[in-house]
Amino acid sequence: MTLPQTILFDLDGTLVDTAPDLAGAMNHVLASLGRPSVPVDRVRHLVGHGARALIKRGLAETGEPRPDLVEPAMPLFLAHYAAHIADASRPYDGVERALDALAAAGCRLAICTNKPTALATQLVAALGWTQRFAAVIGQDRAPRPKPDAAHVHATLAACGGDAAACVFVGDSATDAGAARNAGLPLVLVSFGYSDVPVATLGADAVIGHYDDLLPALAAMVPA
């Protein structure tokens, strides 16, 4: 099986179900403001655009939106999340098997995430994945975050990848936009945090399990 030389992955909702710990941090903020909590299953459709957007959406879900509360809540959110970053976050089924197979095939793997780099690398380390990825590039290490192509190009530069032999794997419209803007083929997972049907996002392939990733990637390599 011939595979692309470089695979760029989104993190939250693509490799790892981080919603339980993100919900914990958001609900910690909401509790400090006297607001009710938001169920984890609802949070899965609120994440993917960064901590500020998550707090903003959490406030809108639980009463008056109060945009003036978002920035003051950020330190509390980030401190709680960092302290509980992998309490309940788990890789999706088949992820580690797929990453092992890609590594064995000589593929270069990197993470392109809108999570802050420090939190992304902390999560990767907590999962024992530090050696799996040639680079982890959060939004703070890119000139402009996804869906801007600059984030993709920064990740490729950091991992030594070539856009001409690269595929992006994600779960959302943000990832679809990033891949499209950078001219990369795209695989989307159907089980992530997209707030719109992934079938509408123009991916080259949509997979429902990581056992399907390698065949999908191989189909994107010119014969």
Check: CB of residue 152 under 8 Å from CB of residue 182: yes
Check: CB of residue 213 under 8 Å from CB of residue 192: no
Q: How many residues does the chain have?
A: 223
Q: How far apart are CA 188 and CA 43, in angstroms?
A: 20
Check: CB of residue 130 under 8 Å from CB of residue 137: no
Q: Which residues on adjacent β-strands are paired with residue 186?
A: 168
Cα 40 to the chain's mean position, in Å? 17
Task: Give the HSE-up count for residue 188: Cα atoms under 13 Å, Cβ half-sphere.
Answer: 25
Q: Enter the tokens of residue 160.
A: 């030594």
Q: How far apart are CA 95 and CA 11, in angstroms?
A: 11
Contacts of 33 (CB under 8 A, 6+ apart): 59, 69, 73
Which residues are designated catalytic?
10
- Give the helix/strand (H/E) hosting 137: strand 135-137
Beginning with the edge strand found earlier in the chain, give each strand of the sheet holding 166-170 in spatial order. Answer: 135-137, 108-112, 6-9, 166-170, 186-189, 205-207
